[in-house]
Amino acid sequence: MNPTILKLGGSVITEKDRAETLDGAALDAAADAVAEAMEGGDVSELVLVHGGGSFGHHHASEAGVTTTDGSGDAADAIAIHGAMKTLNQFVLSRLHERGVPALPVHPLSAGARDADGDLDLPMNQAATMLNEGFVPVLHGDVIATAGEGVTVLSGDEIVTTAAEHLSADRVGLCSTVPGVLDGNDEVIPEITAFEDAADALGGSDADADVTGGMAAKVRQLLDLGAPASVFGPESIGAFLAGEQPGTTIRGR
């Protein structure tokens, strides 16, 4: 059985424009959907990833750290990583309250980037957790980067890396929007090339997003071997039940 990977967007589970503010109701609803899907047998092997929202992005933008521009200051690294661990703890608690056997995986302690920016993020701990019946929960983070100190690692990049290493057969990204929208704000059902959506694709609505919003998401998902779905919070249950809500991105 190949795992399903679901990313909970930071813009969903936090109030992205207010520093370190959780959207508790949205996180509860997402945790409900995950717990129901696992209880009902819709999904047996699940990897969760969550983004930064107002926890990671706020501190990263204050420190001027992006996915390519790093910082050699440990205090910057700890501010960003610490905020992400706090958010991760909120996510874990809400899952545990519902009986989901979630375990944290902190990328800062697991991987690194080389001088070309290429990511090495081992997944053997996540694979073993899955085999043992746990739900690994990874998160956007800072990561040691050759020549840069630490840079930001987005949850989207973790999703694509995890999908490849773990041979995921389903990948879902839950954001605040019901899918990738065209110029008339209609959901584009399928994207097979960046040009399909290029005109409408922008970054994130949040000022403090350092990882590139929807345009970066689409680019990364087009590189993935498996089809990926981008959908809104109301469709988490449908995605876990095997449907393809929102936009399906199929690069190859």
Ligand X SMILES: C=C(C)CCOP(=O)(O)O
Ligand Y SMILES: Nc1ncnc2c1ncn2[C@@H]1O[C@H](COP(=O)(O)OP(=O)(O)OP(=O)(O)O)[C@@H](O)[C@H]1O
Out of 3, 51, 136, 246, the only residue in the binding site for ligand Y (CB under 6 A) is 51
How crowded is residue 19: how many other Cβ atoms within 10 Å of its Cβ?
A: 15
Query: Three-class SS of residue 223?
Result: coil
> Does 152 interact with ligand X (rule: CB under 6 A)?
yes
Task: Closer to ligand Y by CB, 39 or 190: give it.
Answer: 190
Which 144-173 positions form the footprint of ligand Y (CB under 6 A)?
Answer: 155
> Does 42 interact with ligand X (rule: CB under 6 A)?
no
**Beta-sheet strands, E only, within the chain:** 4-8, 46-50, 102-105, 112-113, 119-120, 135-139, 141-145, 149-153, 170-174, 190-191, 228-231, 247-249
CB of 99 to ligand X, least distance (A): 26
| 142-161: burial string, b at 16+ Cβ within 10 Å, e else | bbbbeebbbbbbbbbbbbbb
The backbone torsions φ and ψ at residue 220, rounded to the nearest 5 degrees and listed phi first, read -70, -40
CB of 40 to ligand X, least distance (A): 28
The amino acid occupying position 119 is L
CB of 119 to ligand Y, least distance (A): 17
Chain contacts with ligand X (rule: CB under 6 A): 10, 51-52, 56-57, 60, 80, 84, 140-141, 152, 154-156, 210-211
Chain contacts with ligand Y (rule: CB under 6 A): 9-12, 51-53, 57, 155, 175-177, 180-181, 200-202, 204-206, 209, 211, 213-214
